[in-house]
Chain A
Amino acid sequence: MGTVHAKVEENFTEAHSEIKSSARELPDKGQIKEIEIGGVKARVDKIHIDGLSRTKNDIIEDCIRELFKAKDFQDVLLKAHKARVKLDELGCFKNISVFIDTSKGPKATPDGLEVTFNVKEHKRIIGGVSTHVGNNEGVLQIGIKTPNIFGRGERVQVEYSHGSKKTSNFNLAFIKPFRGKHRPTLTTSMFQSHMEFPSSAYKMLEKGVVFDLGFYSWSLLKHNIQWEGNIRDLSTLSRNASFDVRKESGLSLKSSLKHVLSLDLRDEIIFPTTGSLLQLTSEYAGVGGDVGFLKNDLYLQTNYSILPDIVFQGCLMGGYMSGISNDLKISLADMYFLGGPLSMRGFQMRGVGPHSDGDALGSRAYWAGGLHLFTPLPFRPGRGGFGDLFRTHFFVNAGNVGDIEVKSGQNILEIIRNNVRVSYGLGIALRLGNMARLEINYCFPYIYDKCDQTHPGVQFGIGVQFL
């Protein structure tokens, strides 16, 4: 499919070179003719799907219908690729291969083609043990899932994970994708998770239910509408925990409606070279339960390639929470925290903002921004191979967390500028597979408050979403 990809970008010179490079493997260079496939008329007569046993026909038809509308050969390739991606998204198949051949038989048209998808369905039950990376911790996960139980991509999955920082998580989910233009997916899940936050001296046991409806309102604009009900049991980690943390102990029931909007236009997840990511989250808690707030969060990331391989990245995140009633409480677990290798580098985990006896208490609002410059390693050792997993990383972070009250008549810029923290530094970033980034930075906290916990010097961070 390499050639198809090159053609998508309408970049003829590149397509040219790719065809040439593939031609090297062929024995006789003289026989190679270059053909402009965009101009070759074609029509798909038949589509075969091989290897279906329990998957229902209707969902497969939805995935491949577009392919019949192809007018020329390039279109066929493109649409075949799209159909393959859609089939893959169903999550029913282990592997999918595509064959395109000229159409034969009595009903064949002159430009006719036959497309065959060879698919291999997943077994009824699959399970596995894997390790992955959470927020600055390693996680071991055991999971069992039954893909495609009723033949339309439905699955039930059970997962248990245990992290290196004493977190544990159990999750049972039923996922049902629906047919339609907006590709809706309904997920219902039950979970129980245990987390410890040494920087705030509390631990929390959560048990809850989530209903999530995800759909696309435009090809890449994803919405998630969620209802979450969970019981949180908060308790102190030690006898020496600050009293401000201790007084938050006990049970609370949060029932909240949430809308997450995400638009990812980046070319890659870990080290993007171009494109932006936007995430907007609104959460309204207080539909039942005894916790009530309205929370709005933003995450924005933009990437520019200044020179080839030198990428400039700007990140901005912020959140604002307001209480909705005096009868409903806002727990320590709902607060915003800032600081640590994944957010404000050069500060300890949750190191920015109000503390009580060394325990972070969080605030109702925060903002943080980061400017990053990613370049290849100096002198580029291991170029084209192992060395490409690494980047040199320069950064400046700025942010603030506090109970910021936005009053009318006050300049919002002034509120933001007030009491801002800044840190800068440099280091090495490493891509771990296609799922996580590892950073080792030397940090210099530049502007900080006396109650902050700074972390000058070497700081190590591993995670998925960074500031």
Chain B
Amino acid sequence: MTLVDKISLELGAQEPWPKDVKFFQPHEVEQVLLPDNANCLATQAFLKMCQLPYIVEPRPNAEAMSPTLKVPFIKAGRFVIAELEGIVQFVNGKGITLTEPLDSDQKSNMRAYMSLIHSVLEMAELYICWVDDETYNEVTTARNGSVYPWPLNHIQNRNKRSQVIKKLKTLGWYNKKLEDVYSEVETCCESLQTRLDGKRFFFEHGPTELDALVFGHLFTILTTPLPRSDLANIVRNYPSLIDLVKRIEKEYFKKAAQQ
């Protein structure tokens, strides 16, 4: 983040949360892919936990519109802020926070788990979508290309795939086998379950952005139909995580739907 961006965030902080905040994401039904959907859902969960109102605006070019070229992003007045971490920071600037009662040890603990989810679950989702041939051919090409006309859809799929593969290569995920990916996910869920330790949320006092992020990823993995259901089956082995996901869904999403 450049200095200018930081200053603009600081300045934006002084204004209250505007009423017409728009939440931009790709089309949920026909376009969005597993990792993007997880991040969008996590951010929505966070905003709901903070009880901040927003309007969802699905756009086919949401990714290109985002200042970081990643979904989701919000538009609050003059400010455009992308991704969960940026939005959390922006919301904190307005004096709204979910991590007030945490001491600095717990905060850094929370950040460590969040980066674990980004570096394991998100990578595994990217791997399944773009590297695994079966999923790529059956699901990813159709969905990612759905918003482009022929022959741009094929070109765009190829470009995006090579971008993702480049990213996975630098992070050492491309050369992994499917079994390695699954075992990474298992280890990740294992450690999350240990941290949760039967509590309602990861921290005693209530939900935090970590809960939002875990909910976003696990809920998406559990509910997205894919040719390979292995990922969902792994997650199902961790009942306390499933309970957390159900709890958050009931508390923040079902309630909103009923209203």
The answer, yes or no, to whether B75 is at the interface (CB within 8 Å) is yes
Q: Find residues 225-264 in chain A having any chain B CB closer than 8 Å to their own CB.
A: 231, 233-236, 239-240, 243, 246-247, 249-251, 253
The answer, yes or no, to whether B11 is at the interface (CB within 8 Å) is no
The answer, yes or no, to whether B148 is at the interface (CB within 8 Å) is yes
* Cβ B152 vs Cβ A249 within 8 A: no
Partner of B64, one of A231, A240, A243, A251: A251
The CA-CA distance from A234 to B60 in the complex, in Å, is 14
Contact A251 to B152, CB < 8 A, known contacts A235-B64, A239-B5, A243-B75: yes
Nearest A residue to B1 by beta-carbon distance? A239
* Cβ A246 vs Cβ B155 within 8 A: no
Whole-angstrom distance between the Cβ of B150 and the nearest chain A Cβ = 7
* Cβ B150 vs Cβ A250 within 8 A: no
Partner of A253, one of B4, B64, B152: B152
Query: Residue among B8, B64, B67 with the most chain A CB within 10 A?
Result: B64
Residues of B close to A240: CB separation below 8 A = 4, 8
Partner of A250, one of B4, B61, B67: B61
The answer, yes or no, to whether B156 is at the interface (CB within 8 Å) is yes
Contact A290 to B148, CB < 8 A, known contacts A243-B75, A243-B80: yes
The answer, yes or no, to whether A288 is at the interface (CB within 8 Å) is yes
The answer, yes or no, to whether B226 is at the interface (CB within 8 Å) is no
Whole-angstrom distance between the Cβ of B174 and the nearest chain A Cβ = 25
Whole-angstrom distance between the Cβ of A333 and the nearest chain B Cβ = 14
Contact A250 to B65, CB < 8 A, known contacts A243-B80, A290-B148: yes
* Cβ A289 vs Cβ B149 within 8 A: yes
The CA-CA distance from A236 to B68 in the complex, in Å, is 11
Whole-angstrom distance between the Cβ of B73 and the nearest chain A Cβ = 10
Residues of A close to B149: CB separation below 8 A = 253, 288-290
Residues of A close to B155: CB separation below 8 A = 231
Interface string of B50-74 (1 = CB under 8 A from A): 0000000001110111010000000
Whole-angstrom distance between the Cβ of B52 and the nearest chain A Cβ = 20
Residues of A close to B64: CB separation below 8 A = 233-235, 249-251
Nearest B residue to A247 by beta-carbon distance? B65
Give the number of A-B contacts (CB < 8 Å). Answer: 43
Nearest B residue to A236 by beta-carbon distance? B67
The CA-CA distance from A246 to B59 in the complex, in Å, is 12
* Cβ B152 vs Cβ A246 within 8 A: no
Nearest A residue to B69 by beta-carbon distance? A235
Chain A: interface secondary structure? strand
Q: Find residues 104-157 in chain A having any chain B CB closer than 8 Å to their own CB.
A: none
Residues of B close to A288: CB separation below 8 A = 149-150
The CA-CA distance from A119 to B8 in the complex, in Å, is 67
Residues of B close to A290: CB separation below 8 A = 148-149, 152
Residues of A close to B4: CB separation below 8 A = 239-240
Residues of B close to A289: CB separation below 8 A = 149, 152
Residues of A close to B150: CB separation below 8 A = 288
Q: Find residues 71-113 in chain A having any chain B CB closer than 8 Å to their own CB.
A: none
The CA-CA distance from A231 to B149 in the complex, in Å, is 11
* Cβ A246 vs Cβ B65 within 8 A: yes
Nearest B residue to A229 by beta-carbon distance? B151
Whole-angstrom distance between the Cβ of B80 and the nearest chain A Cβ = 7
The CA-CA distance from A224 to B8 in the complex, in Å, is 50
Interface string of A247-291 (1 = CB under 8 A from B): 101110100000000000000000000000000000000001110
Nearest B residue to A207 by beta-carbon distance? B155
Whole-angstrom distance between the Cβ of B198 and the nearest chain A Cβ = 44
The CA-CA distance from A158 to B118 in the complex, in Å, is 45
Residues of B close to A251: CB separation below 8 A = 61, 64, 148, 152, 156
The CA-CA distance from A235 to B63 in the complex, in Å, is 11
Whole-angstrom distance between the Cβ of A45 and the nearest chain B Cβ = 59
The CA-CA distance from A239 to B67 in the complex, in Å, is 6
Whole-angstrom distance between the Cβ of A330 and the nearest chain B Cβ = 14
The CA-CA distance from A288 to B63 in the complex, in Å, is 24
Whole-angstrom distance between the Cβ of B25 and the nearest chain A Cβ = 14
Nearest A residue to B149 by beta-carbon distance? A290
* Cβ B80 vs Cβ A231 within 8 A: no
Residues of A close to B60: CB separation below 8 A = 250
Task: List 11 additional A-B contacts (Cβ < 8 Å) besides A239-B8, A243-B80, A253-B148.
Answer: A239-B80, A240-B8, A246-B80, A247-B61, A249-B64, A250-B63, A251-B64, A253-B152, A288-B149, A290-B148, A290-B152
CB pairs A–B below 8 angstroms (26 shown): A231-B152, A231-B155, A235-B64, A236-B67, A239-B5, A239-B67, A239-B80, A243-B80, A246-B65, A246-B80, A247-B65, A249-B64, A249-B65, A250-B61, A250-B63, A250-B64, A250-B65, A251-B64, A251-B152, A253-B152, A288-B149, A288-B150, A289-B149, A289-B152, A290-B149, A290-B152
Chain A residues in contact with chain B, CB under 8 A? 231, 233-236, 239-240, 243, 246-247, 249-251, 253, 288-290
Chain B residues in contact with chain A, CB under 8 A? 4-5, 8, 59-61, 63-65, 67, 75, 80, 148-150, 152, 155-156
